[in-house]
Structures are given as C-alpha cells and as structure tokens.
Structure 1
Amino acid sequence: MYTKQLYVFEDNKPIKATIRNYNSEDFQDLIKIQRESFPLPFPEELLWNTEQLSNHVQLFQAGALCIEVDGVVCGSMTGMLVNFDPENPIHTWEEVTNSGYINNHDPNGNSLYVVDICISPSYRKLGLGKLLMQSMYDVVIHHQLDRLVGGGRLPGYHKHASSLTIEEYVKRVFTGEVYDPVITFLIRCGRTPVAVAPNYLEDEESCHYGLLMEWKNPFHLI
C-alpha cells in the first residue's frame, strides 16, 4: 500500500495533504471529481463508473492513487501495467485500457500506463497533479519498470487546427510559442514526447489526437 504525507501551499499557508491508494469508499468522490474536471463537450461515457473503479482497485491497486487535502479527496490518478514497444507506439486509449476497465492489465508488463489523471477544478492551483505524477514515478521505480507512458490530450489544438498541423502544434508547444493546458503540464512533470497518436480519444478539443509521452526509469538502461 502506498501512503505519502506532505504539505501543499495556499497563499503561503501550508496545508496537510496525503497521497494514498484509493478504495471503494472513495468511488463516489472520484466520480464527482471527474464530472467537475471534464465537463461537456468531453464525452460523458468516458467518465468513470463504479465497475471501472472496482477493476482498478482489484486488478492493480498500486496504480490507483488519490490525493486528499485537509481530509478532502480532491484528485486521482490511475495506472496499469502494459508491455510497451517503443518501436510500435501508436494505439488508442480505448485499446490499451480496455475502455478504462483495464481487464487487459498485464502483471508482467514492462511499463506503467497512465489511464487517467484529474484534479477538482477548485484545487488546481495547489500543484496536486504534479504531486500525483511524481508518486506514479515512485510506483515505476518500486516495481522496477522501464517507464511511465501515456497519451496526453491536446485541448488547445482546436484553436489552431485551421492553421497548424498537429505536428506543428506540438513543436510550438515544446518551443514555448504555444501553451497547451495538458501538454505543457506534462512537460513540467518531466514527461518527454514519443509520438502523435491519431484517433487516440473521442475528444473534439484535441481533434481526437493524443500525444504519447513517457518518463523513463532513471535506474534502468533503456
């Protein structure tokens, strides 16, 4: 079981926070947070349900993390194990996560795959997403995996799609010419690009693209 206690800051005031494995008692809170985090036009059918969350806990609880601030659950991150081939990286979120049910979780997988991360909007100024990501890096190291990998949404792309290809948009995000709420966040968390994945997720804001990004285990030679 994973437990990390630390402080976050709001207006220079330290507040106790805990990152831990989530369980069935947290499910309704996690469903509520997802609805707050991914409003329309994000497809409602992609939001968590109790069956999916139950699978996360039963199949790989080490990859089922949530964060509490002052005793309130306000974010979560979920991962599963996969055999990732960097020479053939392209896939869809639905394929690799079994539509979020993770029934294809591979206990012998070489990589930790990010199924989801979300933070309640009212807590987003506290840096909780980065703390959850760093905790997933702990899981990678503890399980002696090669990497953490996952697809990031590109919710800013629809504003530029008429003038930039997806590759041009990604390049400009990495040069700092364009800010993307998700990809810029992932860069700040230490993730590096692998490949652009078309039709990665049903997501109008991203024009259905995802950017596959990884964090390599610094204790492994890959």
Structure 2
Amino acid sequence: MIRKEILEDFIIRNATPDDAIQMEYVQKQCYPSLHESALMNRNHFINHIKIFPEGQIVIEMDGIIIGSASSMRSNFPNHDPTYLEITDNLWITNTHVPEGDWMYGIDIGVLPEYRGMGFSRELYLARQEIGKKLGLKGQLIAGMTLGYGRVKNRMTIEEYCYALEIKKFTDPTITPQMKAGFRWIRPLYNHIDDPQAGFACVLMYLPVDDNYRIEKTR
C-alpha cells in the first residue's frame, strides 16, 4: 500500500470506497468522448478496491480527489482483447489474475485544471513502486490515441499510429506515456469505443527491470 506527500499540498495514496464518487467524477471529466458503456462508475471503482486494493490509487488535496488510477493484475495477453473484454465489462471480477506477472493499468485520469503539473507521472511511479513490492514484471497499459481527432479527416488511424511510432507526431496521451518510460509494443485497433481516439489504443509496457524486453510488433 502507498501513502505519501507530493508537490507539498497533495497526497498520493491507495483509494478507499469513500473515494468512489469522486473517482467517478474524475473519469467523466477526463473522457468526454468515451462511450457511456466504457465509463466506470462508483460501483466499478468500489469493486476494484475490493478485488485489488493495492492497485487503486488517488491523488487528493484537502479531501478533493484530483486524479486517480485503476489497475488489475494480469498475465501478458496472448491475443488482443477489447477494453471491455480485458476489464470484464469494467468490473475486473473475472479478469483480475491474483498471481499475474503484470500490473495492467485500466484507467488513469487527472482533472483538466490540474494537468501539466506531473500528476500522471506520479501515478505511474506509484504503480511502479507497488509493482516492485509485489514482485511484478512491470506495468502494461493501452494508451488512447486521443490526438487522432485532430487529423482524422486526412489520415487513417493506422497511418496515425505509424506516425506516432516514428515520432512524426505527438499525441496528448501516448507521447507523455512514452516520456514517462513506457515502451511501444503494438497498436490495438477497434479496442475502445471512443471516436476521438479512432477507436484505437497503443499497447505499451514499463518494466521493473530496464533490461527486460518485449518485441515491438505492428
């Protein structure tokens, strides 16, 4: 479990059921174009805390939740499930693997007015710290290609992902995640119901051991 002060006025800690309503609010503010079926609500968050308390994290200031991150334990996927499939329709009851080798990040969000202050990076670092304590290989995430909406009239999502891979473009989600240390594995097309992201994500990993490698695939 984790609890510590960051940036003087903020506390990063494991979530409790009392945080669930505010976590729901953060989710709605962070993903306005995400289909309702893929938005987690307070009951989902409460279930995550019950199943895997170590993997649910919030950042608060004076009792106000300004950021949160949800995760589960998983083995490396041997196929490309959709977001709803890998999260058990957001509940994680049947897809959390108690002895899994990886911490699979299923959600991370910081309220818009607090972005640019390094809070997402703090959430990733906290996950990494917890992963080390649990003896995991590291983190897996499916980063949403939220910058695609700016160029969707002039290229396909496949072309956009390739441009990101070769760093021709920057993306408001993928680029900061890669700057935080995440490594590209492959795009996940038709992964999540968000037209702004072209319904796509990029599967990435952050290993505990810097020497650990997963082959990049297209």
- Compute the TM-score of the two structures, normalised by the length of structure 1: 0.88
Number of residue pairs the alignment of both structures matches: 212
Aligned to 1:27: 20
Which amino acid letter does the alignment assign opposite residue 48 of structure 2? H
Deviation sequence 1:141-192 (CA, Å, 0-9, x none): 1111112101111012233344434343233224443121110111111111
5+ residue gaps, structure 2, are 214-218
Amino acid at match of 2:119: L
| Counterpart residue number, 1:81 | 73
Q: Distance in 1 between matches of 2:173 and 2:108?
A: 11
Counterpart CA distance in 1 for 2:76 and 2:168 is: 31
Letter in 1 for 2:5: Q
SS at structure 2 position matched to 1:168: helix
CA contact (8 A) 1:113 1:149 kept: yes
Question: 1:203 maps to which residue?
Answer: 194
Is 1:38 aligned to residue 31 of structure 2? yes
Q: Is contact 2:67-2:119 (8 Å) kept?
A: yes
Counting only pairs closer than 5 Å after superposition, residues 90-109 of structure 1 correspond to structure 2 as 90-103=80-93, 104-109=95-100
Query: C-alpha offsets along residues 197-220 of structure 1, whole Å, 9 cap, x if unaligned?
Result: 111101101111111011011177
Q: Which residue of 1 aligns with 2:160?
A: 169
Check whether the contact 2:71–2:103 (CA below 8 A) recurs between aligned residues: yes
CA distance in 1, matches of 2:187, 2:166: 16
Counterparts of 1:1-222 in structure 2, within 5 Å, are: 1-7=1-7, 15-39=8-32, 41-85=33-77, 88-103=78-93, 104-218=95-209, 221=212
Q: Return closer, same or farther for 1:221/1:130 CA change in 2, 3 Å cut-off.
A: closer
Aligned in 2, Cα 1:113/1:201: closer, same or farther, shift over 3 Å?
same
Deviation at 1:95, TM superposition (A): 1.1
Unaligned 5+ runs, structure 1: 8-14
Letter in 2 for 1:153: M
Q: Structure 2 counterpart of 1:56, which letter?
A: H
- 1:89–1:195 contact (8 Å) kept in structure 2: no
Q: CA deviation at 1:72?
A: 2.4
- Deviation, 1:76, is 0.2
How big is the shift at 1:44?
2.3
> 1:12 corresponds to which residue?
none
| The 10-residue stretch of structure 1 (195-204 or 174-183) with the greater mean CA deviation from structure 2 | 174-183
Matched-pair identity in %:
27
